[in-house]
Amino acid sequence: MSRTLLPTIKDLPSHAGIRSTLPPASCVWPLEKGSADSRLRDDEMRQQALIDPYPADDWRWPKRPVIFISDTHADAEAFEASLVASGGVQLNDTPGQGRFKLTKQGKKAEFIIGGDCLDKGPSNLQMLRSLKRLYDLGARVTLLAGNHDLRLMMGLLAMQQKRHTGNEHLFARMGKKVIPLFREVFDSWPERNWLKGVPDADTCRSLLLPADDWFERFPAHAEGILTEAGVARELKKMRSKASSFERHCLNAGMDIRTVYAVARHCQRLFLHPKGEFYWFFKKMQLVRRTGSFLFLHAGLDDVMSRDIAERGLKKVNKRFRKALHKDLFSFYYSSLANTFRTKYRAADLPLSDAGVQQIHGCGVRALVHGHINRTRGQRLALRQGLLHVEADITLDRNSRRQEGLRGVGCGATIIDPGRHIIGISNDYPFAKVFRPAPLNPAR
């Protein structure tokens, strides 16, 4: 059997109708340095090493295809191209975005949107409208919470609350990446008298940015919740964001009073039951499981592994929704939020062997997530013996430009009931195929 092509995988989705170079054939999922033991002879053997000690018959596969697309970061064109690349939708003949319909495969599949729909640009509002179109077509859609999405929600919620050490930095914490959204909203309602009834600049500044003494108050407030490294990282991050936020707004053509007015309008759009995008946060979940696969935005820690194993996903998702409307500080620096923030850094809550044993014990064999972007398509990695399918393939054009990637990103990760995982990306010449079973049993 060829080590490059897998002609036995006949069901790669059709990519017709999108302006992107996508792989016409598949290969055994190549494993990068650090994914598994590099001393093993080839990718097939290293794939098998990734799933030991769990044999292939220990894995439970979803009954319907799962299409996972994550980290679209406000690029509606990339999102729709990825839907087409997955085989789940096809474009209509009429031009424009939001003009697609479900394919036969899409009607069978579950679409899991892995979070970070917002920020960076260029089309936050159209991205949300394209996602809403998928719901309106009757597709099975699960929307997961991403750190960029939740930062917007918490920044808007913090404006409504009495200011204190735990919340007064949350608006500025959104940083410069939220400014394209604010500019889009400002440009989309040109008839509004934006500054009517808006306070003066100093008042707006005091309502949106942390006070100068916040940096002295924060460590004591965070004691017992954040690690020492976590406190240091947060202070460093906030010094940069708070000092530069107004300048970035001015560079986008909005002074602090305009930003305050636009943020108030975003509250109506996202937080009010009659707002156009109220559904977005309402539908959001923290985790989703199907078969042996756990889907989330970023990763796990020991506390969340135990909660999932002992309480189950339904209770975890319910606790997530309740926590969003309580103390924002306690939520954002908790194990719940670590699920959409962690990159397994020293400042993040730890995942140890004990946590992996907990999650393995309840039947989870792999995490499928975004958050850690990759420039050569999806990646497989082991963390403390737990298989991670890293599926953030750098879709939005602003990030791609910064990383030297061409054009609009496009791709999807498919968990197929035929007992394999397919990773499709226009940044890799083949569709990567991973099967938790020996590819040549006779060997």
DSSP 346-400: TTSPP--HHHHHHHHHTT--EEEEEEEE-SSS-EEEEETTEEEEEEE---SHHHH
- On whether residue 112 sits in a domain, the answer given is no
Residues 6 or more apart in contact with residue 147 via CB below 8 angstroms: 115, 116, 297, 298, 337, 340, 341, 371
- On whether residue 388 sits in a domain, the answer given is yes
Looking at the fold, whether 262 and 290 belong to one and the same domain comes out as: no
Handedness of CA 369, 370, 371, 375 (dihedral sign): positive
Pairing of strands 431-434, 420-425: antiparallel
- 34 vs 19: CA distance, rounded Å: 34
pLDDT at 6: 46
Q: In what order do the strands lie in the sheet with 110-113?
A: 26-28, 431-434, 420-425, 411-416, 66-69, 110-113, 140-144, 284-285
- On whether residue 378 sits in a domain, the answer given is yes
Looking at the fold, whether 237 and 309 belong to one and the same domain comes out as: no
Last residue of a domain, one of 207, 241, 271: 271
Residues 49 and 380 sit within 8 Å (Cβ to Cβ): no
Looking at the fold, whether 186 and 321 belong to one and the same domain comes out as: no
In the numeric block, the tokens 């990306």 are attached to: 425
- 60 vs 364: CA distance, rounded Å: 9
Please give the C-alpha separations between residue 32 and each of 161, 187, 239, 377, 405, in angstroms, as whole numbers.
47, 44, 36, 11, 19
Looking at the fold, whether 294 and 400 belong to one and the same domain comes out as: yes
pLDDT at 19: 58
- Which range of residues forms the domain containing residue 196? 150-271
Looking at the fold, whether 428 and 293 belong to one and the same domain comes out as: yes
Number of H helices, E strands in the chain: 17, 15
pLDDT at 438: 46
Looking at the fold, whether 262 and 300 belong to one and the same domain comes out as: no
Looking at the fold, whether 372 and 409 belong to one and the same domain comes out as: yes
Minimal CA–CA distance to 113: which of 94, 95, 128? Answer: 128
Residues 226 and 346 sit within 8 Å (Cβ to Cβ): no
Tokens matching residue 153: 């929600």
- Structure confidence by residue, pLDDT tens digits, 18-37: 656 788 888 989 877 655 44
**Percentage helix, strand, coil for the chain under 3-state DSSP, each rounded to 5:** 40, 15, 45
- 274 vs 208: CA distance, rounded Å: 25
pLDDT at 47: 54
- On whether residue 99 sits in a domain, the answer given is no
- On whether residue 100 sits in a domain, the answer given is no
Tell me the mean pLDDT per 10 residues along the chain, length 443. Answer: 41 59 86 53 53 69 97 96 94 76 96 96 94 97 97 95 95 94 96 95 97 96 88 94 96 97 98 98 97 97 96 96 89 93 89 95 96 94 91 96 92 95 95 72 35
Minimal CA–CA distance to 43: which of 6, 7, 8? Answer: 6
Looking at the fold, whether 292 and 395 belong to one and the same domain comes out as: yes
- On whether residue 138 sits in a domain, the answer given is no
- 281 vs 258: CA distance, rounded Å: 24
Looking at the fold, whether 210 and 256 belong to one and the same domain comes out as: yes
> How many domains does the chain divide into?
2
The rounded radius of gyration (Å) of the Cα atoms in the chain is 22
- On whether residue 7 sits in a domain, the answer given is no
CA triplet 109, 114, 118: central angle to 5 degrees? 125
- On whether residue 3 sits in a domain, the answer given is no
Looking at the fold, whether 383 and 313 belong to one and the same domain comes out as: yes
pLDDT at 150: 96
E-state strands within 138-190: 140-144
Please give the C-alpha separations between residue 222 and each of 86, 166, 179, 240, 419, in angstroms, as whole numbers.
43, 8, 27, 19, 45
CA triplet 52, 57, 59: central angle to 5 degrees? 70
Last residue of a domain, one of 271, 295, 311: 271
pLDDT at 92: 83
Last residue of a domain, one of 210, 237, 271: 271
Looking at the fold, whether 257 and 299 belong to one and the same domain comes out as: no
Looking at the fold, whether 179 and 213 belong to one and the same domain comes out as: yes
Angle, helices 256-271 vs 201-208, to 10°: value is 50
Minimal CA–CA distance to 207: which of 253, 248, 264? Answer: 264
DSSP H or E run through 413? strand 411-416
Residues 6 or more apart in contact with residue 429 via CB below 8 angstroms: 23
pTM above 0.95, yes or no: no
